[in-house]
Amino acid sequence: MGPLAPTRIPLSLLTALFFILILATPALKAHADYYKKIEPDGTIVFTNIPTTSGYTMIFDEYEEEYVTYEEYYYSTSTYDSIIKDASVLYGIDTSLIKAVIKTESNFNPKAVSKKGACGLMQLIPSTAKRFGVYDIFDPRSNIYGGTKYLNYLMNFFKGDLTLVLAAYNAGENAVVKYNNQIPPYKETKNYVKKVLKFLDYYNDRPLDL
């Protein structure tokens, strides 16, 4: 599918047209992502391939959570060699490691969350200690610790990727508490969706080492 010309929709018509689009074309969501941008004058622009910054990606018609153009398309190969080594050591696909890093920290090795998660793979200090991370802000140590945790979760949840990702975000005890289902937390549900989106992205761009 080629790029659609950006479509400008007056704010007064947005709601009706958006729901008409959803009801009339349910199959489109399975084949393409859609993006929107609000101009300074209030005009809302939709497109399937954004060509400038300022767009946000719509996950689905019921979600209010978006990924920005910059978050979706910016990536780095800075840590590819470390990711490759961790992948071989712990048996976790490189694309999954990159998708988690992208979602967690956007490749910022000094990132710190409001909950105290740190580094590229956003490890909380207790998890870092549990998986042998000697320096939570050291990229190699952090990636190795996060990948080792993913390996543990893969074994714990018998390879169920959605549960692995939910547990990486909310903790394995939360997943077990809800009978091995994704916990009913909006943050965790959106987290799983984001990682899977980036996993598709990186699966199409394997490491070239």
Catalytic residue numbers, as ranges: 104
**How many other CB atoms are found less than 10 A from the CB of residue 195?**
24
Tokens for 208, please give them. Answer: 């070239």
Residue appearing with tokens 């929107």: 36
Tokens for 10, please give them. Answer: 């007056």
Question: Distance (Å, rounded) from C-alpha 149 to C-alpha 198?
Answer: 19
**For residue 187, with 0-12 CB atoms within 10 Å meaning exposed, 13-18 middle and 19 or more buried, which class applies?**
exposed
